[in-house]
Structure formats: C-alpha cells, structure tokens
C-alpha cells in the first residue's frame, strides 16, 4: 500500500502538519461549496470513497490524501497543489502567484470597499479583528460622524456603509467573528479622552448603551474580548480566515498572504484571547458599568 502524502515534499521542516491539514480542510470546504456538490458527488468527481473524504475533512484530523489523490483534486477543480496545501494565496492555474506581502494604499472610500470585498471572500471562515478605535459595526452614527467629520462626504458615507455591511454580515447565522481590544480604550471613550475629546456626554452614553445591547444581541456569532492594554499591545489588523490578513497602517494596509505569517498573527490573536480580562459572556456587563463623564481639564 502506498503511504499517505508526505507533507515534507512540499513544506518546510518548520511547518506543523496540523496547520497544513487545517488549511487543506478549509480549502476543500471552499472547493466543495463552489462546486455546489454534496460530499458523495464531490468524492465521485475526484475518484475517492466518500468515507475517506469524510475522514480527511473531519475537524482536528491531521490526515492528508495520497499524492495521486491530491493531484486528482487539483486537476478536477482547476487549482494548484501549492494552493491546495496552503503554500500560496492564488487558487487557479495560469495566474501570477500572490506575493507574501503587499501594500495597498487606500482612502477611507477605497479602503472600505476593499474590506467589504475581503469579508465577502471570507464568508464561512472565522473573521478575527483588532480595531484601531471602536469596532466599526458597533459604532453609532453620531460617533462615526464625530470621528470622521474632517473627511469628505464620500469617505464618511463609505464608512457608514462599511459599518452597516459589517452589522448585516454579523447577523448572518453562519458568521463567526471575534474582536479583541484593550479595555482601557472603552474607559477612555467613556471619559471623552483622546480622539473623543469634545464628544458630548449624551452621545457617549448612547454609544455605550448601543454597544452593550448589540453585543448581547449578536452573541454568539459575534464575540468581544477585552484585555488589559498594560499586559499586551496589538496593532490593528484583521484575519480573514486562512485567506489573508490585513494590518491597518492608516492610509494603507499591509496585506499578508503567506500561510506562515497568517498563522503567526492568528497565534498572536489567540494570546490576546487567553489574557482577556472580560470574555464575550462579560463584555456587555463591563461596558454597562462604564459611566459617560465630562473630561477632566
């Protein structure tokens, strides 16, 4: 009997087979969804038994198909072995391989459209997000207007649409979104400090109530984790499942396409979750306990 596919043929010695198997399962799920097949029909199309396919796709499985089976999947679905095994971001033959890192210069308008497109592409995957201020989908219109008042009308409207799109996205039953942010940022907001200096008390009070209510409403498809900012630092970034990550740099995004770097950011996000002082079950309670105050002079 031929041995199962040896991941060392295509992967470095530093790559964990569990990570490769997870990416393989994610990309197989994407291919099956694109084909619109059930498991029985898909297994027939690639010439393997349905029960064997189910074993490869089982959560937590580290099994990978034999080389000939991988080639059959790639040939039948029109993808490359490198993409199937998570070595590249591009998923079709004949196109240029996406670079490991890209820089996308954006305005708020183009950036909002880009983020919305990445969300659509990652539908069905877990979205993990470290915001630069408050999470977009939790902001009230009054807070968005205050924060982006200096921007032109098109950019403000793009921000409004992005927030609405993300809220709609988070209400879909298949959504799986996690957000990590420092709890001190919410305390700072409640006191009207930093970028929120001059934001009226009643607007901040309304925002805190709105945020607390939405967190309860959206759970468990949306989960907020609050960590102590004195224990860890996190630049703003978003993980779009295994497809890509985007690190926010102001008027540009550093787009990460390599599996290894995406995995490193995912591990960083996991660390933020581990040290969180308030998990999704208590985040709303923490926010409800904040009081909007006049800033100290």
244-273 residue pLDDT tens:
899 999 889 999 877 678 888 999 999 999
Query: Domain segments of the chain: what residues?
Result: 7-84, 101-288
Which region, left, alpha or beta, applies to residue 228 given φ > 0 means left and ψ of -120 to 50 means alpha? Answer: beta
pLDDT in tens, 139-193: 999 998 898 875 566 666 666 666 677 667 666 667 799 999 999 999 999 999 9
To the nearest whole percent, how much of the chain has pLDDT over 70? 81
Q: What is the pLDDT of residue 4?
A: 43
pLDDT in tens, 108-147: 678 778 888 888 888 778 899 999 999 988 999 999 889 8
Rounded CA gap, 292 and 87, in Å?
Answer: 49
- pLDDT for the residue 9: 44
Q: What span, in angstroms and rounded, lies between the C-alpha atoms of 283 and 26? A: 30
Summarised one tens digit per residue, pLDDT across range 25-79 is: 888 888 887 777 788 888 888 888 888 888 888 888 888 888 878 887 887 887 8
- Cβ neighbours of residue 67 closer than 8 Å, sequence gap 6 or more: 5, 9
Q: What average pLDDT does the chain have?
A: 83
pLDDT value at residue 268: 96
Q: What DSSP line would sit under 41-91, residue for residue?
A: HHHHHHTS-HHHHHHHHSTT------HHHHHHHHHHHT--HHHHTTS-S--
Q: Say what the pTM is.
A: 0.68
Structure tokens at 178: 């996690």
Q: Quote the tokens at residue 241.
A: 């499942």
The CATH number of domain 101-288, selected from 3.40.50.10860, 3.40.640.10, 3.30.870.10, 3.30.530.20? 3.30.870.10
d(CA 109, CA 195): 21
Find out if CATH 1.10.260.40 is the number for domain 7-84. Answer: yes
pLDDT at 151: 59
pLDDT of residue 96: 45
């Amino acid at each position: 009997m031929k041995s199962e596919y040896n991941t060392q043929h295509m992967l470095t010695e530093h790559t964990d087979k569990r990570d490769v198997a997870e990416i393989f399962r994610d990309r197989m799920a994407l291919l099956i969804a694109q084909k619109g097949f059930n498991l029985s029909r898909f297994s027939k199309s690639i010439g393997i038994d349905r029960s064997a396919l189910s074993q490869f796709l089982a959560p937590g499985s580290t099994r990978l198909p034999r080389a000939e089976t991988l080639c059959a999947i790639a040939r039948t679905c029109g993808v490359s072995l490198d993409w199937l095994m998570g070595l590249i971001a591009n998923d079709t033959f004949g196109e240029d391989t996406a670079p490991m890192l890209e820089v996308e210069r954006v305005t708020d308008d183009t950036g909002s459209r880009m983020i919305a497109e990445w969300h659509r592409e990652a539908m069905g995957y877990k979205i993990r997000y470290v915001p630069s201020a408050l999470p977009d989908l939790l902001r009230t219109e009054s807070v968005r207007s205050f924060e982006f008042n200096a921007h032109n009308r098109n950019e403000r409207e793009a921000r409004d649409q992005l927030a609405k799109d993300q809220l709609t996205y988070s209400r879909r039953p298949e959504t799986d979104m996690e957000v990590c942010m420092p709890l001190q940022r919410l305390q700072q907001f409640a006191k009207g400090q930093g970028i929120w200096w001059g934001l009226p008390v009643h607007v901040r009070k309304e925002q805190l109530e709105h945020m607390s209510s939405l967190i309860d409403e959206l759970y468990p498809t949306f989960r907020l984790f609050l960590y102590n900012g004195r224990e860890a630092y996190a630049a703003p970034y978003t993980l779009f499942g295994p497809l890509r990550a985007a690190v926010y740099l102001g008027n540009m995004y550093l787009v990460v396409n390599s599996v290894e770097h995406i995995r490193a950011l995912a591990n960083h996000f996991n660390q933020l979750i581990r040290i969180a002082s308030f998990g999704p079950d208590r985040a709303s309670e923490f926010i409800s306990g904040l009081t909007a105050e006049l800033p100290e002079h």
